[in-house]
């Protein structure tokens, strides 16, 4: 049976960033991807925002990796000429009742080390974005946007240039501990088994199912994953703002915000719709909720200006109404299986944090120099 030093399951942005990190450290790496190309999952169904790091609790993995990831991602995009723009973002309080929550975000940002947040009274915010309506705003200059496809393409190219191999149409269907690592079962047209020294389960929405399919991982060690769908609507015509505009966050999401793509087109979303199964259709009936949410900060939104666009699904470790949970990075200490790493609940800011998460994991696994 073929033996490979490191196997990364999943060619989303996280698996690709990790494969790159490991390959650049001189490790032998295979990426096993169920689909016929990279990035068909959550990594191509998100807001493409490079977050600055003010939303997550101080000391959380999300906060640390978001801050580090923000800097590394800008540097990487510049070095590899990946489309991106440091456009900045405004988080807006829509009435006096939201000022305290906005102050809370500012304080949390400061506690996390986000140094450049600026509090803007209404007049200053409107001077920046004349079509905006708000009581006050928080300006984050280091928030930006990135071409997520270009990013994944560059990560894969780097990984391959350092010897990694991506194998598509290769779903991992199970595995078990074996001498020298883990024996993995791969389905697809030509099912096979391989022996892997270390396995990194970066299967996104399927990561918990993959973890459960590895014999020796106790069922109680793998948390339930709750699916929180986020729907997007696109805007016909010119974008009203030149920066991203976010409301004060809602439970389980950042609120229906305006993001821009690199061509300057505006889209709104994602909302939060708890679902039982993966389905990316956008229900046109949800438009009413979007109009109401957007008009709180952009009263000029015309009737019929929104069209259903696309959806993504967040793999959340918390269910509706539960407190927010951190990323869960599970090594042997978490489940008892040597050489297996499960990445669970990798929702936002997973895109921003892909490089820092990859680095942290490679260090934890002892596979790259400090």
Residues of this chain that interact with ligand FAD (CB under 6 A) are: 9-15, 32-35, 40-43, 45-49, 51, 171-172, 202-206, 210, 230, 270, 312-314, 346-352
Nearest partner of 12 among 160, 196, 223, 35, judged by Cα:
35
Closest distance to ligand FAD from the beta carbon of 288 (Å)? 20
- At 236, list the tokens: 């016909």
Using the minimum distance from each CB to ligand FAD, give the nearer residue, 86 or 124.
Answer: 86
Please check whether residue 187 is in contact with residue 173, taking contact to mean a CB–CB distance below 8 angstroms: yes
Pick 4 or 136: Cβ nearer ligand FAD: 4
Of 14 and 154, nearer to ligand FAD (C-beta) is 14
C-alpha–C-alpha distance, residues 138 and 7, integer Å: 42
> Are the CB atoms for 342 and 328 separated by under 8 Å?
yes
DSSP 132-151: ---SEEEEETT-EEE-HHHH
Q: Which is nearer to ligand FAD, 339 or 345 (CB)?
A: 345
Whose CB is nearest to ligand FAD?
A: 350
Nearer to ligand FAD, 43 or 142 (CB): 43
Residue 57: Cβ within 10 Å count: 13
Q: Which is nearer to ligand FAD, 125 or 282 (CB)?
A: 282
* Nearest-approach distance from CB 297 to ligand FAD, in angstroms: 18
Alpha carbons 21 and 24: distance in angstroms, whole number: 5
Residues 334 and 304: beta-carbon distance below 8 Å: no
Nearest distance, CB of residue 35 and ligand FAD, angstroms: 5
Which C-beta is closer to ligand FAD: that of 12 or that of 247?
12
User: C-beta of 269: minimal distance to ligand FAD in Å?
Assistant: 7
- Work out how close the CB of 170 gets to ligand FAD at its nearest, in angstroms, rounded to a whole number: 6
Work out how close the CB of 272 gets to ligand FAD at its nearest, in angstroms, rounded to a whole number: 9
State the minimum distance, in angstroms, from the CB of residue 69 to ligand FAD.
Answer: 8
223-241 CB burial, b ≥16 within 10 A, e <16: bebbbbbbbbbbbeeebbb
Let me know: does 167 contact 8? Beta carbons within 8 Å.
no
Distance, CA of 348 to CA of 337 (rounded, Å)? 27
Among residues 23 and 136, whose Cβ is nearest to ligand FAD?
23
Query: Nearest distance from residue 16's CB to ligand FAD, in Å?
Result: 7
How is residue 328 written in tokens?
A: 């869960």
* Closer residue to ligand FAD in complex, CB, 136/337: 337
119: left (phi over 0), alpha (psi -120 to 50) or beta: beta
CB of 67 to ligand FAD, least distance (A): 12
∠ CA 195-200-206, nearest 5°, is: 110
Comparison of 136 and 232: residue with beta carbon closer to ligand FAD: 232
- Three-state SS at 274: strand
Where would I find the beta strands (DSSP E) of the chain? 3-9, 29-32, 49-50, 84-85, 89-93, 118-121, 136-140, 144-146, 165-167, 172-178, 181-186, 192-201, 226-235, 244-247, 257-260, 266-269, 273-275, 306-316, 328-330, 340-344
Positive or negative, the CA dihedral 33, 36, 41, 46 is: positive
Minimal distance, residue 9 CB to ligand FAD, in Å:
5
């Amino acid at each position: 049976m073929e033996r490979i030093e490191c196997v990364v399951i999943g060619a989303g942005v996280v698996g690709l960033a990790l494969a790159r990190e490991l390959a650049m450290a001189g490790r032998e790496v295979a990426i096993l991807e169920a689909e016929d190309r990279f990035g068909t999952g959550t990594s191509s169904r998100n807001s493409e925002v490079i977050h600055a790091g003010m939303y997550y609790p101080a000391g959380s993995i999300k906060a640390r990796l978001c801050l580090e990831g923000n800097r590394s991602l800008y540097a990487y995009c510049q070095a590899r000429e990946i489309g991106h723009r440091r456009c900045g973002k405004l988080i807006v309080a829509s009435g006096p009742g939201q000022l305290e929550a906005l102050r809370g975000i500012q304080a949390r940002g400061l506690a996390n080390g986000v140094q450049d947040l600026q509090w803007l009274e209404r007049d200053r915010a409107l001077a920046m974005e004349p079509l905006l309506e708000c009581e006050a705003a928080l300006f984050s200059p280091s928030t930006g946007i990135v071409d997520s496809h270009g990013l994944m393409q560059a990560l894969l190219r780097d990984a391959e240039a350092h010897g990694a191999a991506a194998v598509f149409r290769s779903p991992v269907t199970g595995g078990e501990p074996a001498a020298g690592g883990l024996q993995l079962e791969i389905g697809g047209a030509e099912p096979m088994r391989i022996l892997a020294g270390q396995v990194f389960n970066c299967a996104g929405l399927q990561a918990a199912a993959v973890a459960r399919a590895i014999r020796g991982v106790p069922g109680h060690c793998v948390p339930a994953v709750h699916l929180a769908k986020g729907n997007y609507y696109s805007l016909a015509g010119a974008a009203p703002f030149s920066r991203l505009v976010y409301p004060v966050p809602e439970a389980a999401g950042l609120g229906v915000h305006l993001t821009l793509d690199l061509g300057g087109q505006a889209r709104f979303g994602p909302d939060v719709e708890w679902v039982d199964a993966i389905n990316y259709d956008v229900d046109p009936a949800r438009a009413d909720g979007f109009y109401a949410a957007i008009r709180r900060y952009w009263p000029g939104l015309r009737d019929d200006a929104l069209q259903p666009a696309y959806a993504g699904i967040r793999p959340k470790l918390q269910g509706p109404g539960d407190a927010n949970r951190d990323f869960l990075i599970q090594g042997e200490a978490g489940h008892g299986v040597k050489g297996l790493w499960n990445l669970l609940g990798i929702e936002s800011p997973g895109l921003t944090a892909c490089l820092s998460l990859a680095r942290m994991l490679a260090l934890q696994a002892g596979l790259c120099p400090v």
